[in-house]
Amino acid sequence: MLKGFKDFLLRGNVVDLAVAVVIGVAFAALVTSFTESFLNPLIALIGGGGVNGGSIEVDDQLFTWGAFLNSVLTFVLTAAVIYLVVVVPMKRLQERRQRGEEAGPAAPTDIELLAEIRDLLAAQRNAPPQADTKTF
């Protein structure tokens, strides 16, 4: 029963779903905080500073290239973390499992095991009785 549950958990679809939940829940707050605390001010400084840093106004239309750049950097950082924390370890785990599933030494068949038990029982019957040597 536990082996079946383990196989279910390590199937690709379940792992993909778990990764999606982890991305959505655990990293959302961290990435948002990092973005607001570090990337927005940095982009504003590079774009000229002030309230409109990272934006261009053309014909009364405001183009916020800093916000787009911020979103791209956030996506790249999130993808890098997920790749290094989830994808690489899962790939290594699957490779280990595949190596373990390669053809190794063949296990004895039921007939071979029964013959071995028969031989051990016959040898035990033919052996001289041993004296009771219990000490208290």
Domain that includes residue 31, residue range: 2-102
pTM for this predicted structure: 0.49
- Domain for residue 33, yes or no? yes
Q: How many CB atoms are located within 10 Å of the residue 9 CB?
A: 10
CATH of residue 49's domain is: 1.10.1200.120
The H or E element containing residue 2 is helix 2-9
Retrieve residue 104's tokens: 């190794």
Taking each helix axis as running N to C, give the angle between helix 65-82 and helix 12-34, from 0 to 180 degrees, rounded to the nearest 10.
140
Say which amino acid occupies 31: V
Classified as helix, coil or strand, 133 is coil
**118 within some domain:** no
Q: Which residue has the higher pLDDT, 23 or 37?
A: 37
Q: Is residue 73 part of a domain?
A: yes
Q: How many domains does the chain have?
A: 1
Average pLDDT over residues 77-82: 82
Question: Residue 104: pLDDT above 50?
Answer: no
Residue 36 in domain: yes
38 pLDDT more than 80: yes
Is residue 113 situated within a structural domain?
Answer: no
Q: What percent of the chain has pLDDT over 90?
A: 1
Residue 2 has pLDDT above 80, yes or no: no
Q: Which of 12-16, 29-33, 91-95 has the highest mean pLDDT?
A: 91-95
Average pLDDT over residues 64-82: 82
Amino acid at 42: L
One-letter identity of residue 46: I
| 61 DSSP assignment | E
Helix (H, G, I), strand (E, B) or coil at 27: helix
Q: What mean pLDDT comes out for the span 33-62?
A: 77
pLDDT higher than threshold 50 for residue 87: yes
What pLDDT was estimated at residue 124? Answer: 86
> Mean pLDDT over residues 102-130, rounded?
78
In a domain, 116, yes or no: no
State how far the Cα of 83 lies from the Cα of 78, in Å rounded to an integer: 9
